[in-house]
Structure 1
């Protein structure tokens, strides 16, 4: 079984959004992703999508985007990003998902020798714009990460892989509370996204290892719209 990851798909099939406003490399970006995906992913493989899946505001408008993902090969695991405003209840989303496609939200999913967990995450208290409201979200996201990892205890002995949307660490900020939780639970790999554009010129988060955890930035544009093989 191969495990791949790619985040920040930013699909908009219901109400097409011109992605070239973010740069010409975004033109036909999902065609590039799909081509690479179809060429590499086989039945039994897993693809992790850590957030910012669709620009839709309502679940009904996200359906064409979810259908496009469901149609791709492999087992697909989806996580909520900060732009996934369409994300509603697990029951409502699961009713639309087909072809081995699932969501990770306060739970864990065991496949083969691995168990997959995750939460969206949030900005760090070190950020200059961090507010009291951000503190509430930050604390809630720490709780949700623990909840997901606690769920994985029923699958003791399996290797833990975590999805987050926001970076749980930076090159310059490694001693974070998210990192402490991930180390505590013995997580092996973490995939995340959220970072785009000019900021990508000033960072290098590929294969960043802190303690026992490997951190993988998997924003679609950072990966040049090709899946990253994690395992």
Structure 2
């Protein structure tokens, strides 16, 4: 069993929001993702999907996007991104997910020799323009991350973590998110949300004691990234 990760799929089979408006690098991106996915990933592999799965506004619109993912090989584990407007309560999300997809929210799931935790995250306090509303959302996400990591710890397995937002800012400052990752001895963290060539080359692959990697689809050339074999 190998573990892969790819974030920010931004699918829109029903919502009709083509991503190539953000640049030619996004042209035909679902087909490119599917081709690379099928070339690499076997049925027993795990694929981590750290948010921004679909542009859909409701479950009806999200259905073809989720089915697209379900039809690809492997077991998939996802978290919510800031653009996943279709995602309401975790109970309803899980009711609508195809069998090969599992959603994490305030909890964790054991897969093989590892356990996966995660939450969306938010902008960090050291970022420019951080507001009182940002503080509220950031604090809530810290609580959700702790809940998820506490459940993961009970499995007594090495912990992998998914975030949608990066765990730090553009200066790579220490944050409470990083403190939590270190406290629970997370062995690997993947995140998405960020786009643009300048950002791709700037983000480090290690943050303090925790290996972290940016896996936005466009950052990894629309091919799932193998993080563990």
TM tier, smaller:
over 0.9
1:216 aligns with 2:213: yes
Residue 225 of structure 1, aligned match among 215, 222, 225: 222
SS at match of 2:96: coil
Secondary structure at the aligned position of 1:95 is classed as: helix
Does 2:148 match 1:182?
no
Equivalent residues in 2 for 1:132-211, closer than 5 Å: 132-156=132-156, 158-170=157-169, 172-197=171-196, 199-200=198-199, 203-205=202-204, 207-211=205-209
Mean Cα deviation higher: 92-101 or 78-87: 92-101
Q: Which shows bigger deviation, 114-123 or 85-94?
A: 85-94
2:116 paired with 1:119: no
TM-score (norm 1): 0.94
State whether residues 122 and 166 of structure 1, in contact with CA within 8 Å, keep that contact through their aligned partners in structure 2: yes
- 8 Å Cα contact 2:108-2:148 kept in structure 1: yes
Q: Counterparts of 1:29-108 in structure 2 under 5 Å?
A: 29-108=29-108
| Deviations, residues 38-68 of structure 1 (Å, cap 9, x unaligned) | 1111121100000000011112211110111
CA contact (8 A) 1:11 1:65 kept: yes
Contact 2:200 2:219 in 1 (8 A): no
Structure 1 stretches of 4+ moved >4 Å: none
CA change 1:68–1:113 in 2 (3 A) is: same
Unpaired segments ≥5 residues, structure 2: none
The number of residues matched between the two structures is 228
Q: Distance in 2 between matches of 1:97 and 1:86?
A: 12
- CA drift at 1:190: 0.3
Cα RMSD, aligned residues only: 1.4
Segments of structure 1 that go 5 or more residues without pairing to the other structure are none
Q: SS in structure 1 opposite 2:144?
A: helix
TM-fit CA distance, 1:89:
1.7
Bigger shift: residues 126-135 or 45-54 = 126-135
**TM superposition score normalised by structure 2:** 0.95
